[in-house]
Amino acid sequence: MQRILSTELPMHPGEQVTIAGWLHRRRILKQVAFLIVRDAAGLAQVVVTDPATRAEIEAISEESVIEVTAKVSVNAAAPAGVELISPRVRVQSAVSVPLPLELHRPELTATLPTQLDHAALALRHPTRSRAVRVAAAATEGFRSALAAQRFVEIHTPKIVASATESGANVFALDYFGRPGYLAQSPQFYKQMMVGVFERVFEVGPVFRAEPHDTGRHLAQYTSLDAELGFITDHRDVMAVLTSALAGMAAAVEPWAALETPSEIPAVHFTEALKIAGAPEDEPDLAPAHERAVGAWAKEKHGSEFVFVTGYPMAKRPFYTHPDPADPRYSNGFDLLFRGMELVTGGQRLHRYEDYVTALDGDVEPYAGYLDAFRYGMPRHGGFAIGLERFVARLLEARNVREVTAFPRDLHRIAP
Amino acid sequence: MQRILSTELPMHPGEQVTIAGWLHRRRILKQVAFLIVRDAAGLAQVVVTDPATRAEIEAISEESVIEVTAKVSVNAAAPAGVELISPRVRVQSAVSVPLPLELHRPELTATLPTQLDHAALALRHPTRSRAVRVAAAATEGFRSALAAQRFVEIHTPKIVASATESGANVFALDYFGRPGYLAQSPQFYKQMMVGVFERVFEVGPVFRAEPHDTGRHLAQYTSLDAELGFITDHRDVMAVLTSALAGMAAAVEPWAALETPSEIPAVHFTEALKIAGAPEDEPDLAPAHERAVGAWAKEKHGSEFVFVTGYPMAKRPFYTHPDPADPRYSNGFDLLFRGMELVTGGQRLHRYEDYVTALDGDVEPYAGYLDAFRYGMPRHGGFAIGLERFVARLLEARNVREVTAFPRDLHRIAP
């Protein structure tokens, strides 16, 4: 089948061509029928007057897959200034049942659960497919920005032996008769690989058995992870993250405008509490506090992004490096995007003795990981961006499920 | 810390610079000590004559992480024509234990299990790190080749509701009190997404609870998946695969030479049996048969790659499209690389009725997947490349674990 795309039609006026796609819309009038055919590139209008062809298309429903061989006719009133006339239609797949969703309206009117139940169909709607395209572009922007700075891509195990990294809930599985767990992050592995390549990144799934049923939690999400060695402190990590975000913003530009400042404003945790009007002994920022700090950054600095640095050590995982000037606080940061936590990062411990202390000597479950530190590791740090959260905030989706092709949560494991 | 890389030293003759890295090798002579410092880019030689500095480096072992501030001295006898003299050394991490592996020899002499037990250290050896770099380059080559042909990247669920795709063994897990399984492939999801974007790819982990303890099986591996719509038959899929392999070969070129012919030779399954001298009623190719067909392709066509097409339907999964000319055989193929199966692919069924027939009416476990076909799908097909197998064959590793950073198998779940 020699086929051209709908967007290529204006380059073939007067020619006989073949297009192929989904029967997006069909209007059958008395003398004439209009078909709108949708392909990956766009829409094309087909005018049917021949009675035999008309009978054929009357027999199939919208979303049937058809090939149309026809003549390209210039018509200023048609989409893109051309339409197809005198068509011959061949059916690849005939749809013979009613659709549970209407795809041809500007918005999907079905509820989110209905959309997710019928994901294979709902994702064909531009509001849903756009989010997947934006995720793909952002991922590529992330990788290119880091690859240009000597980062090497890695692929790490998603099945691990201990459920011990950060205290988040994990999924347990039967690993050839032994207990195994789904990895909550590539944290340990990316740190180990800093010992090999100095700078590494990974794009991959992470798993959280989160009992939270909220608009921002998923049981599986895509984590954009990076880790780098030979830093001075967490500020070097923040600089690399800033460049990665710039790469992502540039890559999503065809779909959504996003400005990333060359320097993202940063406030210390204690300052953030004041901005949010929170009690000064709060150990963490609640969502409402994050919104307040995000609003402050927008108003004061004109920035959609803001770093909060120096989170209390008490609330950070054991591998977190303390602030040398005040060890109650950490060299760890969060990045808020439009008032919501998007990235967690920071400097990590790099000396074996510091790990032994941080773990209270309970090193056995971490033996393979701690090997890296026992055998020499530089000062290092890194970060993890939640891809779906990035896309949701960017596209102003209220629920992260709206931008996830096949979300997994407390209640949903299919399709 | 303003640091330059070891490979940048020749650009700074006579200057004072700082390098940083691992103490790769230390030779302490009577009057002088030589340090070899390894960073991500290469090696640098440091000459120590000052007694205080000598005492400092005597106190630490190889693989300690150090910063060296020194003068760049031109010396034709030194590696890269320069060495560092009059150094000041600062220690970031001191190693004080003996190393379980010797990293400075051309080959790792430790057994593979010892290397894997101490992966964080063993991966620092160039023979091991090279494989990870090659995997990263191949992955990028795969993605670029497909992105240039309108393929959209997707991220799909790794936790699924049914253990039903291909009959391979799956890992079971507890999903919020319900049974869940780790996905053996993104097969169903990439097909569904053909209905959205026509052409998609995914790079991600897949899981097989393989009871095989061989040099070519892993419990987790990285699958390079692609799927495309509006094909005529499996030959369009083979053409895209050929272009993806060309992209991968170009990307790995700095580490390993690989020629991919612009057209890869193809033999029908029945022909492949004859070449291998196998009985004509064999339903599949055994590893020895694959080796024979690989040798034939090399001898007859000068090609390291060979397609075997038309595998019997009996041995292919239910979504396989039969050969219209002889429905005992499929429009499915394998690609052999140096005599081993590297890729499986083919044309898929695209009509809902054909799925109902193929599943003997047992459609309930597949409802969300079959939605795609019920609501219109084009003729389509795809393939999956096993990344670790590709790297292993390319680098002539006998065991796929030699090229996998942290392999998972029947016996191994850590580190």
Q: What Cα–Cα distance (Å) separates residue A241 from each residue in A216, A253, A396, B402?
A: 22, 18, 22, 32
Sign of CA dihedral A104, B319, A205, B129: negative
Confidence at residue A165, expressed as pLDDT on a 0 to 100 scale: 65
Classify domain B121-403 by CATH architecture.
2-Layer Sandwich (3.30)
* pLDDT tens profile B270-321: 999 999 999 999 999 999 999 999 999 999 999 999 999 999 999 899 999 9
* Averaged pLDDT for residues A101-118: 95
pTM, entire model: 0.98
Confidence at residue B166, expressed as pLDDT on a 0 to 100 scale: 60
Superfamily of domain A122-403: Bira Bifunctional Protein; Domain 2 (3.30.930.10)
Confidence at residue B276, expressed as pLDDT on a 0 to 100 scale: 97
Mutate to test the interface with A, among B203, B230, B401, B411 (most CBs of A within 10 A): B230
The residues, ordered by sequence, that sit 6+ positions from A120 with a Cβ below 8 Å of its Cβ are A415, B192, B195, B368, B369, B371, B372, B375
CATH class of A6-93: mainly beta
Confidence at residue A168, expressed as pLDDT on a 0 to 100 scale: 65
Residue appearing with tokens 């990870």: B132
* pLDDT tens profile A12-54: 999 999 999 999 999 999 999 999 999 999 999 999 999 999 9
- Closest to B197 (Cβ–Cβ): which among A129, A178, A369? A129
**φ, ψ of residue B53 in degrees (nearest 5):** -65, -40
Q: Does A82 touch chain B (CB under 8 A)?
A: no
Across A104-219, the runs of DSSP E, i.e. the strands, are: 152-153, 159-160, 172-175, 178-182, 199-207
For B405, name the nearest residue in chain A, comparing CA atoms only: A156
DSSP B342: E
Mutate to test the interface with B, among A173, A178, A222 (most CBs of B within 10 A): A173
Is residue A112 over pLDDT 90?
Answer: yes
Confidence at residue A42, expressed as pLDDT on a 0 to 100 scale: 96
d(CA A17, CA A292): 57
d(CA A91, CA A66): 4
Q: What Cα–Cα distance (Å) separates residue B174 from each residue in A119, B162, B413?
A: 24, 13, 18
- How many whole angstroms from its chain centre is CA B308? 22
Confidence at residue B210, expressed as pLDDT on a 0 to 100 scale: 84
- Please report which confidence band the pLDDT of residue A390 belongs to, taking 50, 70 and 90 as the band edges: very high
Confidence at residue A212, expressed as pLDDT on a 0 to 100 scale: 82
**Would the CB atoms of B20 and A230 count as touching at under 8 Å?**
yes
For A212, name the nearest residue in chain B, comparing CA atoms only: B176
- Please report which confidence band the pLDDT of residue A229 belongs to, taking 50, 70 and 90 as the band edges: very high
Is residue A166 over pLDDT 70?
Answer: no
Across B75-219, the runs of DSSP E, i.e. the strands, are: 82-93, 152-153, 159-160, 172-175, 178-182, 199-207
DSSP B412: B
Confidence at residue B239, expressed as pLDDT on a 0 to 100 scale: 98
Q: Does A217 touch chain B (CB under 8 A)?
A: no
The residues, ordered by sequence, that sit 6+ positions from A71 with a Cβ below 8 Å of its Cβ are A14, A15, A16, A17, A84, A85, A86
Residue stretches of chain B with pLDDT short of 50: none
Name the β-bridge partners of B1.
none
**CB within 8 Å of chain B, chain A residues 251-310:** none
Average pLDDT, chain A: 96
Confidence at residue B165, expressed as pLDDT on a 0 to 100 scale: 65
d(CA A203, CA A378): 23
* pLDDT tens profile A345-354: 999 999 999 9
Query: What angle do the packed helices A387-394 and A126-147 form, to 10 degrees?
Result: 120
For chain A, the structural domain boundaries read 6-93, 122-403
User: What is the least distance, in Å, from the CA of A97 to any CA of chain B?
Assistant: 8
Amino acid at the residue B219: A
User: What is the least distance, in Å, from the CA of A127 to any CA of chain B?
Assistant: 12
